[in-house]
Amino acid sequence: MNSELSVVIYILVLLSSHENEKLTSTQISERIRVNPARIRRVLSSIKKVGYVKAKEGIDGGYVLSKDPYEITLKDVYTLVSSKPLQIPKPSMMTKGNLTAEVDIQLANIFIESEQQLMQQLEKITLGSMLHVMKECALETVESFDDEEEIIGG
């Protein structure tokens, strides 16, 4: 997974968790600890595909423009990944030598791996990720409450 994919997912999950609240690129940058210029560049690319809307001016900022349950990780991966896993160059794949034979095997492995990855990523939405994160946060808070009862009692 490349860092661009992570940054896009961080931004989209953050905006999902703030529903209709507008966040500026600076606020997003501070919350996910990524350079503001990079955040603006990423926001521009995800705005072009319709995942976010921007309002300029004093009350400006970014909001998610799609239901987070409609955006799959496959969608995001496809947006960010311009090429499949690093498949060897076809020009090097001539039969008859060791490197060509290894490259052919690797190409088959990478193609199959990418297909499996895409199938898995298609099952996961930003909304489902956010739901799991909220459940985990609730469990963490409840476990701290339990510890306080034990310590205090």
Name the residue among 24, 16, 104, 32 with its Cα closest to residue 66.
16
Predicted confidence (pLDDT) per residue in 29-79, tens digit: 999 899 999 999 999 999 999 999 988 888 889 999 999 999 999 999 988
153, pLDDT greater than 50: no
The secondary structure of 84-141 as a DSSP string is -S-PPPGGG--TTSHHHHHHHHHHHHHHHHHHHHHHHHHT-BHHHHHHHHHHHHHHHH
CA distance 33 to 107: 36
Separation in Å, CA 37 to CA 3, 30, 47, 114: 15, 12, 15, 31
Q: Which residue has the higher pLDDT, 142 or 113?
A: 113
Give the confidence band of 102 by pLDDT, cuts at 50, 70, 90: confident
What is the reported pLDDT for 90? Answer: 56
What is the reported pLDDT for 145? Answer: 46
What is the reported pLDDT for 59? Answer: 83
Name the residue among 104, 111, 68, 76 with its Cα closest to residue 1.
76
pTM of the model: 0.76
What is the reported pLDDT for 67? Answer: 93
